[in-house]
């Protein structure tokens, strides 16, 4: 029996039960409100979002390949294998398991303070840093929402979302060595050589068991 299609309202109800959207949303709200109260708007408040939007697909690709698809490595008796990599392997094993779709809250407990420190201390003006944090919160929520929606029973209704949906599902159900972008369709993949014609790519036997062939 085919699964019933999910409405956006139903998807949103599930989305807001997960901890990561609330944690990222808290950062977004705090940064946006503080930035608005400080005022003193400058050209950098337009430049920062533009640069972040341009770089985000490449950042997403690098994190997906280098962090999420990390192969466990042993150095003596020590095994280097992050929580993010372990959870991502579980996610490939069961792409419909809702908690595994989202960034682990345990990771956000240290990641959000770290990016907050970057925003407050790595920029010449606190206002610019707060603009950075506001944009980062929006991008983070956008990533979580898009990733969840692709793995839910919601079906594409627009050409743009259909392309994103297809791109990520090829990664999960055809070959995990390609199609690494999530919130865009083949942007960084095209640049970095991981956007082949699907008809010429063999089905991988390890899409659900990452690194089982190693």
User: What is the pTM for the complete model shown?
Assistant: 0.94
Q: Which helix (H) or strand (E) holds 57?
A: helix 44-63
Long-range contacts of 68-73 (CB under 8 A, 24+ apart): 69/176, 69/210, 71/211, 71/214, 72/211
For residue 78, what are the β-bridge partners?
75
CA distance 18 to 7: 18
Long-range contacts of 80-89 (CB under 8 A, 24+ apart): 83/107, 88/210, 89/210, 89/211
Tally Cβ neighbours within 10 Å of residue 2.
5
pLDDT at 6: 86
With a cut of 50, which residues of the chain have pLDDT below it? Answer: 1
pLDDT at 1: 40
* Tokens encoding 36: 């608005």
Residue of 173, 183, 181 whose CA lies nearest to 205: 173
- Render pLDDT for 191-209 as a digit per residue (tens, 0 to 9): 999 999 999 999 999 999 9
CA distance 213 to 207: 11
- Render pLDDT for 44-74 as a digit per residue (tens, 0 to 9): 899 999 999 999 999 999 999 999 999 999 8
């Amino acid at each position: 029996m085919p699964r019933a299609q999910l409405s956006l309202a139903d998807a949103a109800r599930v989305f807001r039960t997960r901890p990561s959207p609330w944690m990222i949303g808290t950062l977004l709200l705090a940064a946006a409100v503080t930035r608005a109260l400080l005022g003193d708007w400058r050209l950098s408040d337009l430049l920062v979002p533009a640069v972040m939007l341009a770089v985000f697909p490449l950042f997403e690709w690098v994190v997906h390949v280098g962090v999420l698809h990390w192969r466990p490595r042993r150095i003596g008796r020590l095994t280097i294998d992050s929580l993010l990599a372990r959870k991502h392997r579980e996610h490939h094993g069961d792409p419909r398991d809702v908690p595994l779709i989202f960034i682990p809250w345990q990771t956000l407990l240290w990641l959000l303070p770290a990016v907050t420190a970057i925003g407050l201390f790595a920029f010449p003006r606190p206002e610019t840093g707060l603009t950075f944090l506001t944009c980062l919160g929006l991008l983070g929520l956008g990533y979580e929402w898009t990733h969840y929606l692709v793995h839910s029973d919601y079906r594409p209704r627009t050409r743009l979302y259909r392309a994103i949906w297809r791109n990520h599902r090829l990664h999960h159900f055809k070959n995990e060595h390609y199609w690494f972008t999530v919130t865009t369709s083949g942007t960084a993949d095209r640049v970095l050589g991981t956007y082949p014609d699907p008809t010429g790519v063999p089905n991988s036997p390890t899409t659900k068991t990452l690194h089982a062939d190693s």
